[in-house]
Structure 1
Amino acid sequence: MRGRYRHLERVRTLDPVADCEEIYAAAVLREFPWDMLLALNLAFYRTYAIPSIATLIAGTGELTARPRKRADDTAILMYEMIIHGVDSERGRASVRQLNRIHQRFDITQDDYRYVLATLVVVPTRWVDRHGWRPLCCHEKAATAQFYSRMGRRMNIKDIPSGYAAFAEFFDDYERRFLAPSPAGTTLMNATTQLFKGRLPGRLARFAPTVANCLLDPPVRRAVGAAEPPLLARAVVGASLRTRAMIVRWFHGPRGVPFMADGIRTPSYPDGYAIEAVGPAS
């Protein structure tokens, strides 16, 4: 497709540090909107496999009682920063809201760093494996810089420096702490029901199987998800490869960015104020 790599050519003229927000926004909103949306969700699901984080999330009751609203709240605060920039007025308001939500919990710096690392590493590896092209070195560096900037605004200490350091920290943390827990299983069951509601008609009954196919085997074991049948894994894998091929060869570069008309969610049909996003107390 003519001009398919136009955005990538633009990215390669930019500085991954100084222009990290522009580069990362282009990847999320223009180059890989579907992949990034799905992979950012998978990054959050991965935290269910860390018992200390899963226990904290389950203890709030928000995800199990109001899974749709919890998902919408997370998406709003993340995409506000991606669309407008971490240091924009709306970005700063989103950071303040995240800090307000988390301040009443005893969260370790290591767990904060791990969650930050999931947002860097999981989507990057997903796009490299399933996207219509892999991320270039500028995009990976900018992703790490974007989340480092967000982490500093959230007062997270000793943030890994660069993508390779994030990946090393991520892999080491999972080797040490990824394990089964009742809380992880509870959270994954609630999330699977939410995923089920996103599939049309008769396809909804396949939601648990599809969701399980998207998880790595160690994560499946940690959250108590069933091992999907070989046929299901083959169908999902083939579907992802086919989609990537179609996007690469038949889709032109996206002119209008994803969510250009605003962030719309079922939980806030009439819009929202950033200060009101999240649990009430």
Structure 2
Amino acid sequence: MTPPARDAFAALVLHRRPQRARVGLTLGFVRTFAVPGIAEVLAGTGRLAEAPKARAKATGAMMFALIGHGVDSPAGRGIVAELAAMHRLPGVDDELMRYVLACFTVCPVDFAGGTRAERDAATAFAADLAAALRIPPLPDDARGWMRGFETAGFAPSDAGRALWRAVAPLFAARLPGPLARHAPAFGAALLDAPLRAAFALPRPPLPLRAAAGLAFRLMR
């Protein structure tokens, strides 16, 4: 990936709208829980349920280091090796890895309100990371491919629901102090219908959905 492409994506998620990008990354992480095969792998390690804040922080740090320094940087090569080790876990195939990659690149840009240039930069980053992981690249319409994958792959599972319960409080770190204690409800209000169905969550009332959208989108 050329430096200008990397810089456009990095500028969005690290400098222009870092808080919104982090919420988007968290939502991307949550989306993977709705795929039973991924949820089983994540739950099977036990690490996410035991220390959700530390695990989510580590995941975010890995992605932002890759975005900021590049896949081919010394730091990036180390992270790619860690991700490749996940690819070798039983039950993790190329399509699951591609879906996770889509979630971690499409969702932060979408939630941060990225420009066309920033979306193109995210696409270039995803292509570089896919090549480094030796998995097929995402299609040009990564967002459309991701939604198609979800239509076929989302399903309720005990593991997925348990992971959502473990991670939902993490939205507190992105909320103003007085609202932090309502983090699970505000986080649920950001989920779309397919995610709510997978986690067996009721649709939050309209005022809560509106308040959640406003609270998170007022962030830088």
Q: For the Cα contact (< 8 Å) 1:17–1:142, is it kept in 2?
A: no
2:12 is matched with 27
Deviations 1:154-175 (A, max 9, x none): 1212x1243xx21221111011
TM-score, structure 1 length as denominator? 0.71
- Cα offset for 1:102? 4.1
Deviations 1:84-137 (A, max 9, x none): 111111111111122234433331111111111112322233233xxxxxx332
How far apart in 2 are the matches of 1:144 and 1:240? 24
1:225 is matched with 201
Which aligned pairs between 1:103-118 and structure 2 lie closer than 5 A? 103-118=88-103
Which aligned pairs between 1:193-204 and structure 2 lie closer than 5 A? 193-196=169-172, 203-204=179-180
SS in 1 for 2:72: coil
Question: Taking structure 1 as reference, are residues 67 and 177 closer, same or farther at Cα in structure 2, changes over 3 Å only?
Answer: same
- Cα offset for 1:222? 0.7
The structure with more radius of gyration: 1
Question: Taking structure 1 as reference, are residues 204 and 238 closer, same or farther at Cα in structure 2, changes over 3 Å only?
Answer: closer
Q: For the Cα contact (< 8 Å) 2:23–2:171, is it kept in 1?
A: no
1:4 is matched with none
Structural RMSD (CA):
2.3
- 1:45 pairs with 2:24: no
Q: Which residue, out of 85, 90, 97, partners 1:100?
A: 85
Q: For the Cα contact (< 8 Å) 2:19–2:174, is it kept in 1?
A: no
Which aligned pairs between 1:90-239 and structure 2 lie closer than 5 A? 90-128=75-113, 135-157=114-136, 159-162=137-140, 165-196=141-172, 203-239=179-215
Q: Which residue, out of 22, 39, 64, partners 1:54?
A: 39
How far apart in 2 are the matches of 1:137 and 1:202? 35
Q: 1 or 2, which has the higher helix percentage? A: 2
Taking every aligned residue pair, what percent have the same amino acid on both sides?
35
How far apart in 2 are the matches of 1:122 and 1:93? 24
Letter in 1 for 2:118: E
Tell me the number of residue pairs that the alignment of Structure 1 and Structure 2 aligns.
220
Letter in 1 for 2:75: R
TM-score, structure 2 length as denominator? 0.89
- Cα offset for 1:64? 0.6
Letter in 1 for 2:131: R
How far apart in 2 are the matches of 1:150 and 1:21? 12
2:51 is matched with 66
How far apart in 1 are the matches of 2:27 and 2:15? 20
- Cα offset for 1:198? 6.7
Q: For the Cα contact (< 8 Å) 1:25–1:82, is it kept in 2?
A: yes
Letter in 1 for 2:135: I
- Cα offset for 1:143? 0.5
